[in-house]
Structure 1
Amino acid sequence: MITRRTMMAAAAAFALSAPGVAFAQGQPIQFRISTAGAEQDWLARSLYQFKENVEKDLPGQIAISVHPNSSLFRQGTELPAIQRGNLEMSTMTTFEIEQQLPEYGIFSGGYVFRDYDHMRKVMDGPIGKEYIAAVASKMGIQIIDFIYLGTRQVNLRQLREVKTPADLAGVKLRMPPGAGWTALGRGLGVTPTPMAMPEVYLAMKSGAIDGQENPLALARYNNLQEVSQQFVLTSHLVQPVAFAIAKPVWDKFTPAQQEVLRKHARSAAEFNDKGRLTDEKELVEFFKKAGLKVTEPDLAAFKASVDKQYAEAGISQKWRAGLAQRIADTK
């Protein structure tokens, strides 16, 4: 794990000489964006829109390249790459931030956000601004906006009656690795099973796992309807990700350039969010027409179980005092 001292030293070195970033007079700043998002997904499409609009408004000043599908940096390596001065921008998850700022791990918590509108109000309001300031000062990374990755749902290879977490007992569910994910999975009632996403299709087909959880769009892009029989709309995680820029790079921009970047990050986020919300509604019907059963469980029971797991694992005790209530009170 990168320590704060190591990170700050790297950031200082980056401020003096950043590989791959041209700040010389008359040369455009070379600006690379790495994302795990699939090229056809709204996330990557929004980044291409961001590129086009920024380069249009700042001709000859910034040259942006977008690298989807983890084609430039493997997923999970973007954050240290930014902090070491090897990458300018990524779509950073709250789970990555949590590794260095556990006091803000609540933003990765299940059932913390009631829905998309609640998430947007929190992240766009005073709480989100505090979060951005903490990430900038303690991690050397500037968040210029948040974007909606989707609401995560449980996807099963075989039909099952699911009303409460007890109904998912014994289900081997693919989830990302990490203590927060493990606690979330146990709260959902499943046996969390870490696995790389490209392996999921065959694992579900063979029965090596019983299901997976992700936003509906990721299931569609990975053709999981071919190896599934059911979606359970647990809506356990309304997930924001951040447009994250290395702060030494950000600080090299003029205020006018920063304003252009902020403006087009917001328009890109709006483009993504609108498209994704529409997709989520349409995908429910798509999966039903594909022959899958789509069911709705008792969300209050799932929330209570997840909250209990966070407490028992000692995760919620690390969260900043009072933050959970402030988020809940945001209307």
Structure 2
Amino acid sequence: MKKIKTAFVTASLAVSLTPGLGMAQTELQFGHVGNPGSLFDMSVNEFAERANERLGGDYEVQAYGSSQLGGDNSMMQKLKLGQLTFTLPSTVMSSVVDEFGLFEMPYLIQDRDHMKRVIEEVIEPDLYPLVEEEGYKILAVWENGFRQITNNERPINTPEDLDGLKLRTPAGAWRVRMFEEYGANPSPMALSEVFTALQTGTMDGQENPLVQIHSQKFQEVQDYLSMTNHVYTPAYVVVSKSHWEDLPEDVRDVLEETAQEVQDFVYETAAKQDEELLGAMEEAGMEINEADKQAFIDASGPVYERFDEEVEGGGDLVDRVLELGEED
């Protein structure tokens, strides 16, 4: 029977007693920002269920969604401090490692098959080591999704329609720059604060994948949904490198293998929801339009130029990802 560890010994592993048995059980906390029904929520719950079946009871993954343990930046810091075992950042990774700004580039990723090749040939060999230099480790790459724009002013058909629009974005510098280039007035804000900002008019609109829009109930406070598909954002199963190594090797093996196995579930679930949620948005009373994607692509050149200028090897990364898209 393992010795019960207190938070003073290792705050990353919360310990509880198995009811009726008095046996120590180590809780592995998985924090994320997704609400119930979101892709993040379903993905983490699927991971926890599969992992717990294989862990045998001594260790148990517990999910904490809806920003219960803080926003993305806060949870990344908690990993470093050993106060959390896993988290699931997406856009914020570009604030940790500059090269992850690659996935803030508009219209870069074509589809999920393209993304799988990018994971194998770019993220794993080139970006994983950069993350480890910052004290983190990525166990697997999941998904946040293809992003769309909602607002209360007008349908967004071209970048000109964004002129002056107060638009919430996540905390990624390249997302802000992209929307500035398009003419909007973007402001980073924690996801947990967005509903109120839209409801009160502090923000006119926001951009997110459909599953986040729906699970956050933005359709209740937004009139227009514009299908722009402007960015595909991966999500990363992240742990603290040092605290991860404190876990027994067999436990690490189960968790890492399970995280990678869940990727197919994530992609299948995301694709299904992309199809289903448009109808739900329309039923909620939103006006939906297909944006002129070529107009947005044409306006995106300066964002790519700045990425090439400001991130070492940025242009080469973009070229490699684009070449992988040509294999379809």
Q: Give TM-score, length-normalised by structure 2.
A: 0.83
Per the alignment, do residues 45 and 113 of structure 1 end up closer, same or farther by CA in structure 2, a change over 3 Å counting? same
C-alpha distance in structure 1 between counterparts of 2:168 and 2:12, whole Å: 37
Which of 220, 225, 233 in structure 2 is aligned with 1:226? 220
Aligned to 1:228, the other structure's residue is in SS state coil
Given that 1:106 and 1:316 are in contact with CA atoms closer than 8 Å, whether structure 2 keeps it comes out as no
Partner of residue 243, structure 1: 237
Partner of residue 141, structure 1: 136
Shift of 1:315: 6.8
Which of 100, 104, 111 in structure 1 is aligned with 2:100? 104
Partner of residue 4, structure 1: none
Q: Deviations over 1:224-267 (max 9, x none)?
A: 22332221111111111111122223334455433322332133
C-alpha distance in structure 1 between counterparts of 2:171 and 2:157, whole Å: 26
Size of the aligned set, in residue pairs, is 310
User: Which has the larger displacement, 302-311 or 238-247?
Assistant: 302-311
Given that 1:233 and 1:297 are in contact with CA atoms closer than 8 Å, whether structure 2 keeps it comes out as yes
Shift of 1:57: 1.3
Per the alignment, do residues 315 and 271 of structure 1 end up closer, same or farther by CA in structure 2, a change over 3 Å counting? same
Work out whether 1:267 is the aligned partner of 2:264.
no
Amino acid at match of 2:215: Y
C-alpha distance in structure 2 between counterparts of 1:306 and 1:64, whole Å: 41
Partner of residue 304, structure 1: 298
Amino acid at match of 2:108: V
Shift of 1:81: 1.5
C-alpha distance in structure 2 between counterparts of 1:214 and 1:263, whole Å: 29
User: Which has the larger displacement, 127-136 or 209-218?
Assistant: 127-136
User: Which has the larger displacement, 267-276 or 149-158?
Assistant: 267-276
Shift of 1:136: 4.7
Q: What does residue range 170-319 of structure 1 map to in structure 2 within 5 Å?
A: 170-253=164-247, 255-312=249-306, 317-319=310-312
Work out whether 1:34 is the aligned partner of 2:31.
yes
Aligned to 2:313, the other structure's residue is in SS state coil
Amino acid at match of 2:323: D
Identity of aligned residues (%): 24
Amino acid at match of 1:115: D
Q: What does residue range 52-71 of structure 1 map to in structure 2 within 5 Å?
A: 52-71=49-68
Q: Deviations over 1:213-233 (max 9, x none)?
A: 111122222322233222111
C-alpha distance in structure 1 between counterparts of 2:253 and 2:131, whole Å: 17
Partner of residue 150, structure 2: 155
Given that 2:32 and 2:88 are in contact with CA atoms closer than 8 Å, whether structure 1 keeps it comes out as yes
Task: Provide structure 1 residue ranges, at least 5 long, that are not aligned to the other structure.
Answer: 1-16
Q: Deviations over 1:4-28 (max 9, x none)?
A: xxxxxxxxxxxxx6334389xx955
Q: Give TM-score, length-normalised by structure 1.
A: 0.83
Amino acid at match of 1:274: E
Partner of residue 313, structure 2: 320
C-alpha distance in structure 2 between counterparts of 1:114 and 1:170, whole Å: 29
Work out whether 1:21 is the aligned partner of 2:13.
yes
Shift of 1:42: 2.7
Given that 1:188 and 1:305 are in contact with CA atoms closer than 8 Å, whether structure 2 keeps it comes out as yes
Per the alignment, do residues 48 and 289 of structure 1 end up closer, same or farther by CA in structure 2, a change over 3 Å counting? closer
C-alpha distance in structure 1 between counterparts of 2:214 and 2:30, whole Å: 24
Per the alignment, do residues 156 and 198 of structure 1 end up closer, same or farther by CA in structure 2, a change over 3 Å counting? same
C-alpha distance in structure 2 between counterparts of 1:194 and 1:96, whole Å: 11
Given that 1:47 and 1:268 are in contact with CA atoms closer than 8 Å, whether structure 2 keeps it comes out as no
Q: Deviations over 1:265-298 (max 9, x none)?
A: 1333322322222111111122223332221222
Shift of 1:327: 0.4
C-alpha distance in structure 1 between counterparts of 2:313 and 2:93, whole Å: 14
Shift of 1:308: 0.9
Q: Deviations over 1:158-215 (max 9, x none)?
A: 333x432122212221223442221121233311133444443444344433211111
Q: Deviations over 1:123-166 (max 9, x none)?
A: 1x121212453245312222111111121101121333x43212
Aligned to 1:183, the other structure's residue is in SS state helix
C-alpha distance in structure 2 between counterparts of 1:84 and 1:205, whole Å: 35
Given that 1:234 and 1:297 are in contact with CA atoms closer than 8 Å, whether structure 2 keeps it comes out as yes
Given that 2:169 and 2:175 are in contact with CA atoms closer than 8 Å, whether structure 1 keeps it comes out as yes
